[in-house]
Structure 1
Amino acid sequence: MKKIKLSLVSYLNTFPFLSGIEKSGFINPEWIEIVLETPSQCAKSILSGSSDVGLLPIGAYLTTDQSKFEVITDYCLGAENEVKSVLLLSDIPLEKIKTICLDSQSRTSNLLVQVLAHEYWNLSAEFISSEEKVTNVEVAKLLIGDRALEKRNHFRYSYDLAKEWFDFTSLPFVFALWVAKKEIAGRIEDALNKSIKFSEDKISELLHYYNFPNVITFEEAYAYLTRDMSYSLTHKKKEAIERFSNLVVKNNLV
């Protein structure tokens, strides 16, 4: 039987998913192939059909034909408030920022920072790719994932986009959803739910197997995964997805 190809984001925040799949015993390793990628690569793999199941960033989910796949599991990548790993970093205060360098690894966060700039901060900034040359000092940089955790103390000002979204909307934020090809969804959803629940219940024990980068301690990682990240796909999170979708359309970002 051909292996099911599963795409996961290669950041610390997906540890409960990866460890559950690998350690719970609910998913036979003989029939699944796990590929670790950046969020943008995950989106490309899923939307091209090269992956059968995986984490689809909300930015891609909102801007593609959703009939190609099914949303599965009771889980997502989300945050109730401050998340610490999706940051706008700068050496000048927010109101003085003229240029924002977007993150090539995340369409979702790029959309979120533009929505916040237009709808909440009332900020008239130029948005450029991270590869473009910056010609002024009134600049901020968007970073996500483990790179944000690493660089968060290297700048004078740090704006947490999940917290800014909550302050603006009083809603949590969803960064990615589990999706699967329609012919695969029924075969894997229950096993994924059980695997992730297993990991949630044993997160402290399982974290001892994780190879931590120098920038974060075990205690910080545990707090990040159990307090800052929020994985249950609740009604409020579904409401947040709809609100974000409406604002993306309103601001002509698709």
Structure 2
Amino acid sequence: MNRPLNVGSVRYINACPLNWGLACDPTVRLSLDVPSNLLGGLSAGRFDVALLPVIDYQRLGGLRLLRSGGIGCDGPTLTVRLFSRVPPERIRTLACDPDSHTSVALTRIILAERFENRPKMVTVGATDASEADAVLLIGDKVVCGTAPRTAFELDLGGEWKAMTSLPFVFAAWCARAGIDLRDLPARLERALREGLENVARIVTEQAVPRGWPADLAFEYLTQRLKFDIGARQIEAISLFHRLAHRHGAFEHEPWPLVEVPTVVG
């Protein structure tokens, strides 16, 4: 009998539709964490597949991208935001949320490409965010926490759309090398469809207890976020990797995406 595949996913509300059908799947052992910890799980072999920040595809060789779903947007996303006391072109110190590698790289790209600015970037926690000109926050804390009140705000999904006319993908299912995925790509696709059919329950059972207003959570999951990985999303990921390389997120030339198609039976 095959062992269950170890799957790492994101613990935020934005991943609930992707996770919904996996919790009771006997072929999967699901673990939830913040996005930035999932690369370490893949690298150490704790996970066979993870909902990986797409920048981290370039930080571990041999990965395969499953077109079975991801966390993306096609415009403003609400929960990936830069709060600044000064205009974006004048930011000198930016305190970054440590929970997401992709959002940090995206911020660097947006500030450089749209505002010709390359500020010093530090980690929230390593410095007092109140001492920085701006702070980058992601996830549920943007809505449910105490987001700073500042004169300037950027929604990074909206900024990317304005700059490229493309959607953006923050995270996608990725598998490490040498893993027999069996029918997991199709199972992940079916789990997503089941999750999208149960958004109302996700809002009631997951979002509201975390402090989300019900109507905002429903809008977020059904309108703001996009979960499919199609041709335009692949184009966007590839462009993001090229721009991230240009702006120093990694040194090597970007590795091409090795895709695993989904066949739903």
TM-score using structure 2 length: 0.85
Could you list the per-position Cα deviations for residues 195-237 of structure 1 after superposition, in whole angstroms to 9, with x for gaps in the alignment? 2112212322443332524541111111101111110102111
Classify the secondary structure of the residue corresponding to 1:209: helix
2-structure distance, mates of 1:219, 1:160: 20
Candidates 241, 246, 250, aligned match of 2:246 = 250
Partner of 2:255: none
1:207 aligns with 2:208: no
The partner residue of 2:54 within 55, 58, 61 is: 58
Q: What residue identity is the alignment partner of 1:121? A: F
For 1:165, give the aligned amino acid: W
Q: CA deviation at 1:187?
A: 3.0
Letter in 1 for 2:17: P
**What residue in structure 2 maps to residue 167 of structure 1?**
162
Look up the SS of the partner of 1:20 in the other structure: coil
Aligned residues: 247
Matched, 1:11 2:6: no
Whole-angstrom distance in 2 between the partners of 1:77 and 1:135: 27
Match in the other structure for 1:114:
108
Q: State the alpha-carbon separation in 2 of the partners of residues 85 and 204 from structure 1.
A: 19
In the alignment, is the contact (CA less than 8 A) between 2:74 and 2:166 conserved in 1?
A: yes
Counting only pairs closer than 5 Å after superposition, residues 63-142 of structure 1 correspond to structure 2 as 63-65=59-61, 67=62, 69-133=63-127, 139-142=133-136
Question: What is residue 220 of structure 1 aligned with on the other side?
Answer: 216
**Contact 2:84–2:135 (8 Å) recurs in 1:** yes
Percent identity (aligned): 24
Between the aligned partners of 2:10 and 2:192, the Cα distance in structure 1 is 15
Distance 2:130 2:212 in 1: 32
AA partner of residue 107 (structure 1): H
Contact 1:89/1:152, CA 8 A, preserved across alignment: no
Q: Residues 209, 36 of structure 1: CA spacing in aligned structure 2 closer, same or farther, 3 A cutoff?
A: same
CA RMSD of aligned residues (A): 2.2
2:49·2:175 contact (CA, 8 Å) conserved in 1?
Answer: yes
In 2, Cα distance between the equivalents of 1:207 and 1:53? 26
Larger deviation: 202-211 or 46-55? 202-211
Which amino acid in structure 2 is aligned with residue 20 of structure 1?
G
Q: Is the 8 Å Cα contact of residues 152 and 158 (structure 1) preserved in structure 2?
A: no
Give how far 1:119 is off. 1.2
- Aligned mate of 1:149, from 124, 143, 158: 143
CA contact under 8 A between 1:39 and 1:57: conserved in structure 2? Answer: yes
Partner SS, residue 21 of structure 1? coil
Where structure 2 has 5 or more consecutive residues not aligned to the other structure, the ranges are 251-265
| Structure with greater helix share of residues | 1
